[in-house]
Amino acid sequence: MRVIGRGVACLAWLLASSVGAGGAAGAAQEQAERKDVATKDTSTKDIGAKDGPIPVESFAALPVIDAPQLSPDGTRVAGKMAIDGTQYLMIVQVTGGPGTKPSVVKVGPTVDINWWRWVGDGWLAVGLGSQDMVYGTEIYVTRVIGLSADAKVMKRLDWEHSGVRADDVLWTARDGSPRILLAKQTGIASEMDFWPSVYEYDLSTGRGRRIVTGVANVWDWYADGAGNVRIGYRLDDSSRKATLLYRASNADTFRTIARADRKNNESFVTPSLFRADGSAIGVDDSEGHDTAYEMSLPDLKLGRKLFATPGYDIASVIANPAGDDVAGYGVDEQYYRTEWIDPAMREVQAAMDKAIGGGRHARILSWSADRTKLLVEVGSASQAGMIYYYDIADGRMQRLSWTNPKLQGRVLSPVRTIRYPARDGTQIEAVLTLPRGRAAKALPIIVLPHGGPFARDDESWDWWTQYLAESGYAVIQPNYRGSSGYGREFAKKGEGQWGLKMQDDLDDALAWAVKQGIADPKRACMVGASYGGYAAMRAAQRGGGLYRCAISYAGVSDLAAMRAYDGQFLYGRTRGDWLKKQAPDFRSVSPRFGAADFAVPILLVHGKADKRVPVKQSRMMASALADAGKPFEYLEQPLADHHFTRSEDRLTFLQRMKAFLDQHNPA
């Protein structure tokens, strides 16, 4: 690992220069863009058809900064930043002048920087990962380093005595010291090495001490805000029996407080947050949707309902600065927002929401320890948006960067949420994007199912969708049965329905768009990635009368092979149980074995570096189609992963997708 580019520029200058400003002019622009939060922000530009098409390169651009995190004192930002189409971890001074030097951390080409977390003002814990050979099998190995805020010092956290997984940070100190609790395997030589122990490490020295010794079948440990390891989740993958181990403090002994048989669909609620008064907050769906409740310990009894959102599951519980009570809840309705319980944060959020207007949303991404300095993302599903630094003390918002420097604040194609009935009457929510400058009548349409499949789409910026809309297509993204966020019963509707009723829901989205007059029934194509790529394969196999073509990125073609691949990982049998529940008969719904039924051309694209869905899945599909004499195109990207982390791979994919659509379903 090495540090590069120490003398590049200050953050404001660097990011301003990426959109056409530089040097002193860039610094002046940055100062001019400081705005009072109570003032309407006008950094948007609506564009219409007269502006002409936006080049594909603009949509392929990586975010300027990804997952930015503010230091506890609010003076530095750490995040992945794009340099020449590649992402690096960068640490920059937010409040510095043009002479302030950022640090860019680069690792080898085969090593991933997966996450980063501030630990005090002077240090970060950084999670790394790479493919490695272990006893002749290629396995993804993870490690943690301690990184000084100036990136001059890096400490490996006992890499030599670590197993395959060694990157689960349970807790970070809140007293300014560089201490963390890390759950990690201690080796691979014995069973007891395999099950993670919990260590307290000092990032500045790299030295640690064991707090909890590994327990057989306990992979997940949970700590409270004070750094006590309170709970261990124990799952025997062979019997599918689960138990919960509990103690009140580090001085106590663990004891079993709950049991469940996963084979019989039994479960228990694990605390989401430990409170200072000895109780906890638990999230339970017994009333249909994930809802937050008070929870007593150690009996896990649910008490007073604390928070729910009608029709949707709550997405997360956000802790207060001390980590011992709730400050807010993440809510993903038609778009993601935070419902703050903390009065001060609620007031700040309300002021920002009032200030920005124009259909955009303000999302607080990160905050200082005292929550007086914030990083705020402002944007919408039609606008890539921007990131602001907000110092509550002086009441001003300073723009740090555009999310997409090529698109800047331009508002593109309009997006809205719709609902339609599936053929069995199930109500399905979907996100509809209509191409700007075109009448919403008899349009060519793309059905774009999300991956997961236990995931969902909402009204957030999506570079794929906006590029397709810019190319002249209506795009509908159905949250088909089995999608997350809509409650227990909606999720259960997807069980056993991979490629069946879940596929019908996608076809019914097309039928709705045709009935509304939005879509031309003779100009439809299905496009998707991961599970969405699987669905695109199934559309080509069983929906030839509906679609003219299909495009799959990193799709699954053989469910049995996918189960075998997942089986090599932790809880492989339990994962296999889940997959079997989603698709009881693997072969009948695996597109690979139905290649002879493919009725429309399909484009298969897969990254060779994909660690989630192996490239073999698309290779097998291409081979089966070739044997069956069916029309297809295959593109394998040698450096691409599952998540499009390189702009070059994004661009190549978009260009190939557009060429394929121009041939088979032109706009």
Q: What is the pLDDT of residue 44?
A: 54
Terminal CA-CA length for the chain = 47
Per-residue pLDDT band at 50 (split at 50, 70, 90): very low
Per-residue pLDDT band at 568 (split at 50, 70, 90): low
Exposure on the CB side of residue 587, measured as CA atoms within 13 A: 0
Q: What is the pLDDT of residue 567?
A: 60
Q: What is the pLDDT of residue 516?
A: 98
* Three-state DSSP state, 236: strand
Q: What is the pLDDT of residues 276-299, one digit of tens each?
A: 999 999 999 999 999 999 999 999
- 87 or 129, which is more confident: 129
Q: Is residue 12 classed exposed, middle or buried when 0-12, 13-18 and 19+ CB atoms within 10 A define those classes?
A: buried
In the chain, the percentage of residues whose pLDDT exceeds 70 is 89
Distance CA 284, CA 624 (A): 44
Please give the CATH topology (third level) of the domain spanning 413-664.
Answer: Rossmann fold (3.40.50)
pTM, rounded to two decimals: 0.88
What residue ranges of the chain are covered by domains with CATH 3.40.50.1820?
Answer: 413-664
Q: Which residues pair with 418 in a beta bridge?
A: 430
With contact defined as beta carbons under 8 Å apart, do 547 and 513 qualify? no
93: number of Cβ within 10 Å: 19
With contact defined as beta carbons under 8 Å apart, do 197 and 210 qualify? yes
* Three-state DSSP state, 153: coil
Q: Is residue 578 classed exposed, middle or buried when 0-12, 13-18 and 19+ CB atoms within 10 A define those classes?
A: middle
Distance CA 127, CA 148 (A): 14
Distance CA 193, CA 187 (A): 5
With contact defined as beta carbons under 8 Å apart, do 235 and 216 qualify? no
117-128 per-residue burial string, b: 16 or more CB within 10 A, e: under 16: ebbbbbbbbbbb
Total count of residues recorded for the chain: 667
pLDDT-wise least confident of 27-36, 191-200, 501-510, 614-623: 27-36
pLDDT-wise least confident of 80-94, 174-188, 210-224, 424-438: 80-94
- 52 or 216, which is more confident: 216
Flag whether pLDDT at 314 surpasses 90: yes
- 88 or 527, which is more confident: 527
Average of per-residue pLDDT values in the chain: 87
Per-residue pLDDT band at 576 (split at 50, 70, 90): low
Write phi, then psi, for 508 (nearest 5 degrees): -70, -25
Q: What is the pLDDT of residue 18?
A: 28
Per-residue pLDDT band at 123 (split at 50, 70, 90): very high
Per-residue pLDDT band at 263 (split at 50, 70, 90): confident
With contact defined as beta carbons under 8 Å apart, do 537 and 526 qualify? no
| CA 461 vs CA 99, 144, 382: distances in Å | 34, 31, 6
Q: What is the pLDDT of residues 388-419, one digit of tens each?
A: 999 998 888 888 889 998 999 899 999 999 99
435: number of Cβ within 10 Å: 23
pLDDT-wise least confident of 34-43, 552-561, 572-581: 34-43
Distance CA 154, CA 123 (A): 10
Q: What is the pLDDT of residue 635?
A: 96
Q: What is the pLDDT of residue 602?
A: 98
